[in-house]
Amino acid sequence: MSFYIASSPHHHVRRTTHDIMRWVLLAMVPGVLAQLYFFGWGVLFQLVLAICVALFAEAGALFLRHRPIKPALHDYSAVVTAALLAVSIPPLAPWWVILIGTLFAILVVKHMFGGIGQNIFNPAMAAYVMLLVSFPVQMTAWMPPAVAGYQAPGLFDSLWLFFTTYTAEGYSLEQVRLVWSESGLDAMAMATPLDHIKTEVSRGFTLAESMQSAIFSWFAGAGWQWVNLAFLAGGLTLLVQRIITWHIPVALLSSLGLCAILGALASPDLLPGFNIHLLSGGTMLAAFFIATDPVSAATSNKGKLVYAALIGLLIYIIRTWGGYPDAVAFAVLLGNLCVPVIDQYTRPQTYGHGEPRP
């Protein structure tokens, strides 16, 4: 008989990185399908190209570092990074945007810091911020959701837009983004719900007036609320499977929701309520799939609560007073920066430490 000794942490069920990442990818399926339904085929193109580039970049970096390639590719960590970045950017952003972003996430944010387990920032969010700062036009060209009276481009037109930024008939992405209504073509392309509210309020309209747009439904952003609910369903699956713990999702959503409630009470004509904040943009994706990254997040349970609550607070602050309507990526990166300090002050006490002497 052999006696196996393993180092801490000691869990009743030992999971491999491969198993964890596979569950994360499976849990993302409902959200990806919802995005595909509401925003068209571009979501699929972004995913396929991002995953292919991530695997090649991962293999190349491991080869140059003289590390085993096959085990690292089999753990799916690069695939998860690519998938998170792909679902975060506009579906019909040009192909070179996701190419540059994926290479930056894998080669710079991940491998230049030492590879898996060594990066201090979430690779997907670091790449997203780099793309947003470098290519703001392409990174804000979100399509209107299908339920807002808009006919999404078909498979062939989406493919042309993805690779050439024009349809086969010669229409540009900006022209395709215009919304068809009964009275004809609207003069302004539709923005995301958070961006639309921010823009309309800055122009002097009230919150109620700004939400008369077709991109809002009975509860939150049309299409966006179902995408967030789909990612919520996937996130709950991760909780049931014990891939993640409840601390980060609950703390992030509670912090953001509480700030939204207080803001709406203080200024109901200008600031949206918790329903808009929780079911718009990348809120649920951040709460269950991004902020829960085991490498760049806090480690102790108390630290996770502080870390996630800080991210929720930062999301609300940036959305309300900053220049970026969604704010998830910036809030997560700022939270990553604070992790060493959070871990320092929330570290569990050693057994017996602090007990009074007899």
- Mean pLDDT, residues 227-239 taken together: 95
Quote the pLDDT of residue 10. Answer: 47
d(CA 268, CA 14): 49
Strands in the chain per DSSP E: 180-181, 184-185
Alpha-helix runs per DSSP H in 40-75: 42-64, 70-74
Quote the pLDDT of residue 233. Answer: 96
Residue 178 has pLDDT above 70, yes or no: no
Quote the pLDDT of residue 32. Answer: 96
Is the full-model pTM beyond 0.75?
A: yes
Q: Where are the domains of the chain?
A: 17-343
Residue 36 has pLDDT above 80, yes or no: yes
User: Which CA distances in Å does 78 have to 82, 117, 258, 296?
Assistant: 6, 12, 34, 15
Question: Is the bond leading into 9 cis (omega within 30 degrees of zero)?
Answer: yes
Mean pLDDT, the chain, integer: 85
pLDDT digits (tens, 9 = 90+) for 58-84: 999 999 988 888 887 888 899 999 999
How many residues are present in the chain? 358
